[in-house]
Amino acid sequence: MDIDVYAGTYAAARTLALAITEALKKWRGDAEPGAIVTDVRIDSLPGQRPYANPAVRRIGATVTVTLHPASHA
């Protein structure tokens, strides 16, 4: 999944993007209704991405979340 964070400063956007990726990593092993999260991989760390408005900073990351049916756990 792609995560995009928008903020007024690079530092604020990066801080939030890092918090989101850290929270997603904690999903590993969690049971959701009918599924288990077997892996969470950060494919690209939060980094600056282009955005048309120069007053707004855009930071993005790419994360892969792998789920399996709960019956296969």
Question: What is the spatial distance between Cα 9 and Cα 69, in angstroms, rounded to a whole number?
Answer: 41
Say how many Å lie between the first and final Cα of the chain, rounded: 23
For 68, the domain range is 2-72
User: How high is the pLDDT of residue 72?
Assistant: 57
Q: Report, as an integer, the average pLDDT of 14-22.
A: 95
Q: Which residues pair with 61 in a beta bridge?
A: 3
The tally of CA atoms less than 13 A away on the side-chain side of residue 44 is 12
- Which pTM does this prediction carry? 0.81
Number of domains into which the chain is organized: 1
For the cut 70, the answer to whether the pLDDT of residue 66 exceeds it is: yes
User: How high is the pLDDT of residue 44?
Assistant: 95
